[in-house]
Amino acid sequence: MRSTKTEIEEFKESPIWLDILDEMQLAIEIYQKQLLSLPESAVKLNQSSTALIARMGYIDGTIKTFEYVRDELFDIMVTDIDTKKMEKRLNLPKENEDE
């Protein structure tokens, strides 16, 4: 992790991150509308239930990805910084190091 906690907190309040959040929210709303319209479009296009379920899974996974980045990204970054600091203080081997 190259950033500090302070930099992460500052970025969370930056106009660029707020713009990114707006764009992610718009994408979530678009995908949610697509998800709701799938059964109707599947009937019109005579799609199989397998294709419909696969498409629904893809859209749902995309929505969950956007929500994950929106809701969890910064907490994970801060946790990573804290973990590395603790490992350094305790002189613990890094998780990736070969033994």
Chain mean pLDDT for the chain: 85
User: CA-based angle 37:70:14, to the nearest 5?
Assistant: 130
CA distances 50 to 13, 21, 32, 40, 42, Å, are: 43, 33, 20, 15, 11
User: Is residue 75 in a domain?
Assistant: yes
Structural domain total, the chain: 1
What DSSP character marks residue 14? S
Indicate if the pLDDT at residue 59 is higher than 80: yes
Q: What is the pLDDT of residue 57?
A: 92
Look up the pTM and report it.
0.69
User: Is residue 23 in a domain?
Assistant: yes
* Tokens of residue 89, six digits: 């203080």
Domain enclosing residue 28, as ranges: 5-79
Q: What is the pLDDT of residue 85?
A: 79
Q: What is the pLDDT of residue 99?
A: 47
User: Is residue 16 in a domain?
Assistant: yes
